Amino acid sequence: MKTKLNLLAAALALAAPAFAQTSDEELLKQLANPVASLISVPFQSNFDFRMGPLDQGTQFKLNFQPVIPIAMSKDWNLIIRTIVPYVSQEDVFKGPLPQFPGLPGDVPDALERAAEKAFNKAAKKRFPNDAHQDGLSDIVQSFFFSPKEPVGGWILGFGPVLLYPTATDDKLGTEKWAAGPTALALKQHGGWTYGVLGNHLWSYAGNEDRRSVNATFVQPFLSYATKTKTTFGLNAESTYDWNNSQWTVPVNATVSQLVKVGGLPVQFTVGGRYYAEGPSGAPEWGLRFVITPLFPTGAKPASAPDGKSYAK
DSSP class of 172:
G
CA of 103: how far to CAs of 109, 118, 269, in Å? 10, 12, 58
Query: Which pLDDT belongs to residue 18?
Result: 44
Mean pLDDT computed over every residue of the chain? 86
Q: Is the pLDDT of residue 114 over 90?
A: no
User: Average pLDDT for residues 247-274, to the nearest whole number?
Assistant: 96
**Number of neighbouring beta carbons within 10 Å of residue 56:** 14
Q: How far is CA 178 from CA 141, 182, 208, 215, 218, in A?
A: 11, 13, 13, 10, 17
Residue 233 and residue 5: Cα distance in Å, rounded?
Answer: 38
Backbone dihedral region for residue 56 (phi beyond 0: left; psi -120 to 50: alpha; all else: beta): alpha
The answer to whether 93 and 171 are in contact (CB under 8 A) is: yes
The most distant pair of C-alpha atoms in the chain lies apart, rounded to whole Å, by 87
C-alpha–C-alpha distance, residues 269 and 215, integer Å: 28
Distance CA 119, CA 99 (A): 9
Predicted confidence (pLDDT) per residue in 122-167, tens digit: 766 665 556 788 999 999 999 999 999 999 999 999 999 999 999 9
From CA 143, how far away is CA 183, in angstroms rounded? 9
Mean pLDDT of 53-62: 86
- Tens digits of per-residue pLDDT, 74-91? 999 999 999 999 999 988
Flag whether pLDDT at 113 surpasses 80.
no
Residue 130: predicted pLDDT: 61
Residue 91 pLDDT: 80
* 306 vs 308: CA distance, rounded Å: 6
Which of 196, 193, 173 is CA-nearest to residue 184?
Answer: 196
pLDDT of amino acid 115: 75
81: CB partners within 8 A, 6+ apart: 34, 65, 66, 67, 141, 142, 144
Give the pLDDT of residue 72: 95
How large is the average pLDDT for residues 102-110? 71
Angle value at C-alpha 35, between 156 and 238, nearest 5 degrees:
80
pLDDT mean over 208-231: 97
pLDDT confidence band for 308 (50 / 70 / 90)? very low
Name the pLDDT band for 57 (thresholds 50, 70, 90).
Answer: confident
Residue 51 has pLDDT above 50, yes or no: yes
Q: Are 41 and 24 in contact (CB under 8 A)?
A: no
Choose among 147, 150, 149, 215: nearest CA to 176: 215
Which domains are present in the chain? Answer: 24-95+130-296 (2.40.160.40)
Check residue 75 and report its DSSP letter.
Answer: S
In eight-state DSSP terms, residue 118 is: H
Lowest mean pLDDT, pick from 114-128, 143-157, 202-216, 296-310: 296-310
